[in-house]
Amino acid sequence: MSENSETTGSADLFGGIALGVAALAALLVANSPLARDYDALIHATAEVRIGSIGLSKSLQHWINDGLMAIFFLLVTLEIKREAIAGSLAGAKRAVLPVVAAVGGFIAPAAIYAALNWSDPRTLAGWAIPSATDIAFAMGVCALLGRRVPPSLKTLLLALAVIDDLLAIVVIAIFYTDALSALSLLLAGLGVAGLAALNLLNVRKPSLYILVGLFTWACVLKSGVHATLAGVAVGFAMPLTRENGTSLLDQAEHALKPWVGYAIVPLFAFANAGVLIAGTSLASLATPVSLGIVAGLFVGKQLGVFAAATATIRLGLAEPPPGASNAQLYGIAILTGVGFTMSLFIGTLAFENDGLMTQVRLGVLVASILSSLVALLILFAASGSRAAAKNAAGAQRGEQNV
């Protein structure tokens, strides 16, 4: 998971708190007399221009297309590190989280699609309930401290990382607009430049930033979602270590607080504003909201737990050390916290404000439900496991007497 688990746990906890505060602030402002000011702010136009070349987008789009590229960069750095030297290194170690993540990605998508099959417009959001929010899920997990075995925390991190990788692939394939051949060619040159920097083991961050910005601008103009440029930069960062550290380590360490405490909360504030006035249980009965709630809260836990249990019983992977089945089930429920990536995919799937309101409502309800139920189950499971250990210890003591 990390060389310093206590530091990582604190960062996860505070990052999750920052995300929750930002989402709550968006909800409060969107349902206050400041609602018009909030709407005007996130839709205000900002322009970057160099001579005759310029980009003009709303503040919300700058956050979603620009700052979220840095989020994807950090996610890619985590994926690469875990795959090469972490919990996903080696086929045997990767089997359980990979199979569980795939199960947890397919089941929610299938549930959402089943509930929206008759409407091609809403069916476009099939991937919304498929991804786990790393910051929120790890933050909730950190609240329980030592009640959650380290092996389960590692499994949850690996699951969330693979979820994000699957989401990246889905975005690249299914949420791409009409393509510009020239911009794609220039973006390809940028990716080739990043690959060359990696092969030459260049360790100057400024060069990756310059080539990365060029690649981002070309990807933005190409029709492929611009955040995928962050993926290219992340995979290009070398992991080869000199004096005990690598450029990938340095970049991850530098970016993590900015992403956790600024970029992701800003994204939440710009995208989580749901008008609650007039909202009722009937609002959750719309196919979009219902599909998201059922997908995240039901589909994720069923897909992850069923896939993980089957993999273990077939002997393809070992169960997480020191964890009970109930605790594993609690972690499976926690993967239903899908805030950041779910909202992000929603912005790609729907441009209609009414549909986006349904997306926000469904994601919020499902994430809250998953968090609360997972906390209850993990707390109860850790208590029963501790009681069982104490009883076993007392029985051994009586036998010794």
Tens of pLDDT, residues 312-355:
999 888 888 888 999 999 999 999 998 888 988 998 899 888 88
Rounded Cα distance between 30 and 395, Å, is 58
CA-wise closest residue to 323 among 270, 373, 382, 375: 382
Among the residue ranges 42-51, 64-73, 127-136, 364-373, the one predicted with the least confidence is 42-51
User: Is pLDDT of 69 > 80?
Assistant: yes
CA-wise closest residue to 309 among 324, 293, 299: 324
Domain 5-176+225-393 CATH class label: mainly alpha
Three-point CA angle 34, 67, 207, nearest 5°: 155
Compute φ and ψ for 48, nearest 5 degrees: -115, 125
Would the pTM of this model clear 0.85, i.e. be above it? no
Question: Can you give the residue ranges of every domain in the chain?
Answer: 5-176+225-393
pLDDT of residue 309: 95
Rounded Cα distance between 246 and 73, Å, is 16
User: Is pLDDT of 377 > 90?
Assistant: yes
- Per-residue pLDDT of 112-166, as tens digits, reads 999 999 999 999 999 999 988 877 787 788 777 778 888 888 888 888 878 888 8
**Percent of the chain, pLDDT > 90?**
35
- C-beta of residue 264 within 8 angstroms of C-beta of residue 15: yes
